[in-house]
Copies of this chain bind each other. A is one copy, B any other.
Amino acid sequence: MADDALSGTFAALADPTRRAMLARLVEGEATVTELAAPHDISLPAISRHLKVLEHAGLISRGRDARWRPCRLEPAALADADAWMEPYRRFFGSRLARLDAQLRASASPTAKEQ
């Protein structure tokens, strides 16, 4: 993996187990054991997936007695999302169309904020 932030983020997303973990975390904080439950791999493997997600800035981990609650960190995903921006006009997503719509209806001198 290249060591820039975006590469780390995309590399972290390139694994279904890790994406499933993020999907779980969208519902709220979870402990390591809770995140491990749906998966058929060992706890050390889970632990390393979490380390990858944490290193990529996709999650952060706290401490609650014996538990390490994990939560979603939005910034890294936001960066990945921002990277997509120039491509949206190509795949004509609903959001891209929305965006175009907004630009069209906005004041022509309006600055992006």
Taking Cβ atoms with an 8 Å cutoff, the residues of A that contact B are: 1-2, 4, 6-8, 10-11, 13-16, 19, 22-23, 26, 72, 74-75, 77-78, 80-84, 86-88, 90-95, 98-99, 102
Contacts and interface: CB of A to CB of B under 8 A. Distances in A.
A64 B39 CA distance: 48
A84 to B, nearest CB: 5
A99 B91 contact: no
A10 B14 contact: yes
Given A7-B14, A72-B87, A86-B26, A81 B93 contact: yes
A2 to B, nearest CB: 5
Given A77-B84, A87-B74, A90-B72, A10 B7 contact: no
